[in-house]
A and B are shown apart, each in its own frame.
Chain A
Amino acid sequence: MRLLKKTDNLEVSYGLKGRSLWVDARRRLFQNKAAVISLFILIFISIISVFGPFFIQYGFSDTDWNSIYQPPSLENGHYLGTDGNGRDLLVRILHGGRLSLSIGVIATFVSVFIGVIYGTIAGFFGGKLDTFMMRVVEILYAMPYLIFVIILMVVFGRNIYFLFIAIGAVEWLTMARIVRGQTISLKEKEFIETSRALGQSNTLIIIKHIIPNLAGPIIVYITLMVPSVIILESFLSFLGLGVQEPLTSWGVLISEGSREMETAWWLLIFPGSFMVITLASLNFIGDGLRDAIDPKEY
């Protein structure tokens, strides 16, 4: 595409344009109402999480001594109420959203990066290398990840960056397995054989012909992995292994809220609904993408 536009404006001059599988997939995705609505909700939540705190008069760690355990009210600007330290809940939810979403995205990216490289190498070269690499994955699978994360946290201290690494290090295993399986079925296809017959090197075949063809399953898996990463972070924070005060995430807010839900219901309901809406949207988008990329499943 880039190559053609640079040299000659062929697409314009002939009025015809190739319709790629991705264009078709996008059209099918936008026909799926649940996915489109979810996409807008997700974009909306991301935008208010990033920019919202700038427009709120309270900081995320400011205490308002006049309003402790204040229920939601429109009068003093604590629209979603305050917690036991008099901190505004809305700004804390938005601030927590930044952290939860970025952990979701970054940890997923880390695990996809490791998983795709590991999986394609194991699947493409096969044989003893494949056996060895997959046994390593199985051993890591067999380790209870909670113990793994706790050990990491104890050894390296409770640092937020280690949370990213720890989650990424746990989640790549499944990715590697999925990618390996797909690679094995792809490498038997005739267009890979053709590339071989045309004298292309293994590296070029992997980069140009295998990984782009894996994009479908990878993208679908990403949308399903982001929620599971967010939940994992919430779980770790719930146990006190994750984010530390005064920083916050949705998981921390829910864990604090659950302790006080009998006296201050808003501390559980609002962070909880933000999280539920986000996860539901991500799952709907994932479903929509799966149907769009692989229409046979309809």
Chain B
Amino acid sequence: MQSTQKNIKNNDLLLEVNNLNVFFNTTDGLIKAVNNVNLSINKGECLGVVGESGSGKTQTFFSITGLLSNNGYCKGSAIFKGFDLISSSKKERMKYLGKSIGFIFQDPMTSLTPHMKIGDQLSEISIFHDNLTKKESLKRTLEVLDIVKLPKSRNLITSYPHELSGGMKQRIMIAISLMCSPELIIADEPTTALDVTTQSEILNIFNDLKNQLGISIILISHNIGVIAETSDNIIVMKDGSIVENGSTYNVLTNPQDKYTKLLLSCIPPWLDV
């Protein structure tokens, strides 16, 4: 495993996380949520992160993007294109968030501000980060909505979040993260709140982003099926540590760790992963 990681390093390395630890100050004392996590992702690659609830997969990426709640803090380094996201100040980090790094949340139903029109919510980001005028950002909005395959996108920009379905909202969320042409998208369980048909549509969009636009994607999920469809590499997490990593094919066909084996045995046999 170590050797595969090193081989990949020769390619275009986008994000490298070293010895990441995340702690939470609670009334029960200090809790270590993430334990010595090392991972790396290259340009145009999709990394799947699997693990049960509470395995620290979300907190790992919250700590990288500075979204930890107030009682949490982290140690280690996360180098994104030569810039350490963890040791940097909030102001410097904010230049990357939303611009080079997009973030997609689990529940699309509540991730959009209810009082703003879709078009305004989309264009807000590029006005904020790229200093576009409203007209330019509107053009960009239409382009981006085409990428996420939203039909009649011109009607859509004048509607409000409550008028859209869950799948449409999740596509809008993907579109928002695409507004500033990011290089990395972190998707935190993007399909959990959606039904199966919508799930596969969303995964197709992720595949297109990766293959056609060359965007790296980190896909966090507890659903191995979802990960298997899109990822090149897989990380399996348990209790805050990485128990196994490697290419998707290797991990799924020949798991080394006991936990991974158990995880895979949970999938009903008629589902051919």
Contact call A21/B135, Cβ cutoff below 8 A: no
Measured CB to CB, the nearest residue on chain B to A201 is B94
Find chain A residues with CB under 8 A from B23 CB. none
Q: How many contacts A-B (CB < 8 Å)?
A: 111
Asked if A208 is an interface residue, CB under 8 A from chain B, the answer is yes
Q: Given A18-B163, A198-B97, A198-B125, A189 and B158 touching (CB < 8 A)? A: no
Find chain A residues with CB under 8 A from B160 CB. 18-21
A174, B119: Cα distance in complex, Å: 36
Q: Given A3-B120, A21-B115, A191-B113, A197 and B105 touching (CB < 8 A)? A: yes
Which of B103, B135, B138 touches A198 (beta carbons < 8 Å)?
Answer: B103
A212, B124: Cα distance in complex, Å: 15
A244 to B: closest C-beta gap in Å: 45
A182, B107: Cα distance in complex, Å: 21
Secondary structure type dominating chain A contacts: helix
A190, B190: Cα distance in complex, Å: 13
Asked if B98 is an interface residue, CB under 8 A from chain A, the answer is yes
A14 to B: closest C-beta gap in Å: 5
Asked if A85 is an interface residue, CB under 8 A from chain B, the answer is no
Which of A3, A126, A191, A215 touches B112 (beta carbons < 8 Å)?
Answer: A191
Find chain A residues with CB under 8 A from B154 CB. 10, 14
Contact call A208/B124, Cβ cutoff below 8 A: yes
Contact call A191/B103, Cβ cutoff below 8 A: no
A14, B173: Cα distance in complex, Å: 24
Asked if B134 is an interface residue, CB under 8 A from chain A, the answer is yes
B36 to A: closest C-beta gap in Å: 25
Which of B110, B117, B138 touches A191 (beta carbons < 8 Å)?
Answer: B110
Contact call A14/B155, Cβ cutoff below 8 A: yes
Asked if B266 is an interface residue, CB under 8 A from chain A, the answer is no
Contact count band on B: 35 or more
Q: Given A127-B70, A198-B176, A199-B128, A20 and B115 touching (CB < 8 A)? A: yes
Asked if A4 is an interface residue, CB under 8 A from chain B, the answer is yes
The B127-164 residues at the A interface (CB cut-off 8 A) are 128-129, 134-135, 138, 152, 154-155, 157-160, 162-163
Measured CB to CB, the nearest residue on chain B to A200 is B128
Asked if A28 is an interface residue, CB under 8 A from chain B, the answer is no
Instruction: State the interface size on chain A (CB cutoff 8 A).
Output: 36
Find chain B residues with CB under 8 A from A198 CB. 97-98, 102-103, 125, 128, 176-177
Measured CB to CB, the nearest residue on chain B to A191 is B113
Asked if B65 is an interface residue, CB under 8 A from chain A, the answer is yes
Asked if B95 is an interface residue, CB under 8 A from chain A, the answer is yes
Contact call B119/A4, Cβ cutoff below 8 A: yes
Asked if A213 is an interface residue, CB under 8 A from chain B, the answer is yes
Q: Given A7-B138, A200-B98, A200-B128, A194 and B111 touching (CB < 8 A)? A: yes
Asked if A158 is an interface residue, CB under 8 A from chain B, the answer is no
Q: Given A3-B120, A18-B163, A199 and B98 touching (CB < 8 A)? A: yes
Given contacts A191-B110, A198-B98, 15 further A-B contacts (CB under 8 A): A1-B120, A3-B138, A18-B163, A21-B114, A22-B115, A194-B112, A196-B67, A196-B97, A198-B102, A198-B128, A199-B93, A199-B96, A200-B94, A212-B113, A213-B114
8 CB-based A-B contacts, threshold 8 Å:
A16-B159, A17-B158, A20-B117, A194-B112, A199-B129, A200-B128, A208-B113, A208-B116
